Amino acid sequence: MTSHFTVDRGWVGELPYTTIVVELDEGPRLVGAMRATEGDDLSLGMPVRIVGETKQDDFVFFWVEPQNAPTT
């Protein structure tokens, strides 16, 4: 699902993004987001990496990037 709208003004600069669920090699699943410009070619099972971005002192958001994308 790609979001083009948010009710939280803190996320306006991040729009649009695609909500994504990643199953880690260890088994657990993680919910994060992929920036829409990177998420145009999504496919099931594609290798990805997780990048944490600190939004506040006590909150880290997880961005998902294709494994072959340039490091941000």
Residue 61 lies in a domain: yes
Instruction: Name the domain count of the chain.
Output: 1
Residue 29, in any domain of the structure: yes
- Tell whether 72 is covered by a domain: no
Tokens of 38: 């990177």
Question: What confidence tens digit (pLDDT) does each residue in 28-56 have?
Answer: 998 888 876 654 677 888 888 888 888 77
Q: Which residue has the tokens 């600190």?
A: 54
Residue 46 lies inside a defined structural domain of this protein = yes
Burial class of residue 36 in the structure, from the number of CB atoms within 10 Å of its CB (0-12 exposed, 13-18 middle, 19+ buried) = middle
**Domain membership of residue 38 as a residue range:** 2-66
With the C-alpha atoms ordered 63, 68, 71, 72, is the resulting torsion angle positive or negative? negative
Say if residues 44 and 58 touch (Cβ distance below 8 Å): no
Say if CB 20 and CB 32 are below 8 A apart: yes
The pTM (predicted TM-score) of the whole model is 0.67
